[in-house]
Structure 1
């Protein structure tokens, strides 16, 4: 049996002041995934006013656990920078991998944080440094049954 050698990803990038689009072609695997991470990190540095990062995944052939890890790292970096990450034109294989690993909603959920809140959001606003967080109960929670007093 012969297998085709992994193909390094080719990245086609289109930049504007507030949006970067990177088209992925090839494999996002152990040997090549760091190439995408470096490209994204460079774009985040080059574009301080970046609002959206679009990764077009239609040309993505193979993605392994390292590739998935890189997508999660990219999500962490874009979230920290207040940039919305979009995984556009996902292949069925990529969607299956993201669903199987429980990362589909995480990677494709709208950005939440200090930069922008959707109208009508019921999420709590971020806490300021002087606010105290309410304590969570630590013991067992019992809603029924006899109450004892000693």
Structure 2
């Protein structure tokens, strides 16, 4: 006998600067798009948003589509200059994130103001950048042809 899937449900509460999306149920192929749609709508509706909390306590099973959507939520939050917090992560979600090498992506401390140190809002060309986070551009390993 198989166990029926956990019913998926999202609950949203927040202010102009902070919003919390509570996820209940399995985050999988059938439901994950709903999370992305809700987060995208919240990011669009709240231009002054600073922090997005995704409460993961009620998450059951997470498949590859669920993980993909969490990564997309992270990219959308970053593009909107909003800090993403995956809070109350259950052990099974941490395990998936750890096995896939994405746990650090969700738990790393962001750079202060994403490396923007000065901005004159009247003139966007006056943005001063101090350090850019970047990925290495070369191959994953270095192979030397020297003996």
Shift, 1:4, TM fit: 2.5
Q: Normalising by structure 1, report the TM-score.
A: 0.75
SS in 1 for 2:29: coil
Distance 1:126 1:102, change over 3 A: closer
1:6 and 1:27 in contact (8 A); partners too? yes
1:17 and 1:47 in contact (8 A); partners too? yes
SS in 2 for 1:36: helix
SS in 2 for 1:90: coil
Within 2, Cα distance between the matches of 1:94 and 1:61? 8
In the TM superposition, 1:78-93 aligns within 5 A as 78-93=77-92
Larger radius of gyration: 1
Q: CA RMSD in A?
A: 2.7
Shift, 1:6, TM fit: 2.5
Shift, 1:7, TM fit: 3.1
In the TM superposition, 1:92-107 aligns within 5 A as 92-107=91-106
Deviation readout 1:108-148 (Å, 9 max, x if unpaired): 223332557xxxxxxx5249xxxxxxxx99xx899xxxxxx
SS in 2 for 1:66: helix
Structure 2, unpaired ranges of 5+: 118-129
Q: Normalising by structure 2, report the TM-score.
A: 0.76
SS in 2 for 1:30: coil
SS in 2 for 1:96: helix
Aligned residues: 127
Question: Aligned residue for 1:67?
Answer: 66
Within 1, Cα distance between the matches of 2:7 and 2:65? 14
Question: Aligned residue for 1:44?
Answer: 43
